[in-house]
Amino acid sequence: MDKVLIRQLSIETVIGIYEWEKQIHQTLLVDLDMAWDNSAAAAADNYQHALCYETVSKCLTQLITEKPIELIETVAEMIAQCVQTEFNVPWVKVVVMKPGAIPHAASVGVEIERGRL
């Protein structure tokens, strides 16, 4: 299976369940695995056939920073839904990490897979 990958996309946004978290920006790190047939783009060396990781990254950053969100689970679902509907990706794996959320953990996060191959 071909994929287009995004690693450690850093998104600064208002995220969290506590009142103090609603007053600050925190960083989320997002990893995306997106099923995509890369052969057509490669054969023609043509961007038109490619799933543009730049466009996806900008779109997701805008989506997630639009309004405050409480749970990183919600962030993961929003990302998966956007990638599937806006970019016609048939299957996606989304990892959302929230570094610094827990004092004695390097990071915490969630992982979801949506769609079919």
Q: Within 13 Å and on the Cβ side, how many CA atoms surround 112?
A: 14
Residue 93: count of CB within 10 angstroms of its CB: 18
- Here the tokens at position 66 are 């639009």
Q: Within 13 Å and on the Cβ side, how many CA atoms surround 56?
A: 28
CA angle (73 as vertex; 72, 75 as ends), nearest 5 = 60
Is residue 98 among the annotated active site residues?
yes
Residue 116 per-residue DSSP state: -
Pick one of 1, 17, 106, 117: the residue that binds ligand LV4SOB2L (CB under 6 A).
Answer: 17
Letters for 72-91 (x = contact with ligand LV4SOB2L by CB under 6 A, - = none) are xx------------------
Pick one of 59, 63, 101, 112: the residue that binds ligand LV4SOB2L (CB under 6 A).
Answer: 101
Q: Is 94 in the site for ligand LV4SOB2L (CB under 6 A)?
A: no
- Here the tokens at position 59 are 């779109």
Q: How far is the CB of 16 from ligand LV4SOB2L (least distance, A)?
A: 3
Question: Considering beta carbons, is residue 40 or 71 the nearer one to ligand LV4SOB2L?
Answer: 71
Residues within the interface to ligand LV4SOB2L (CB under 6 A): 16-18, 21, 71-73, 98, 101
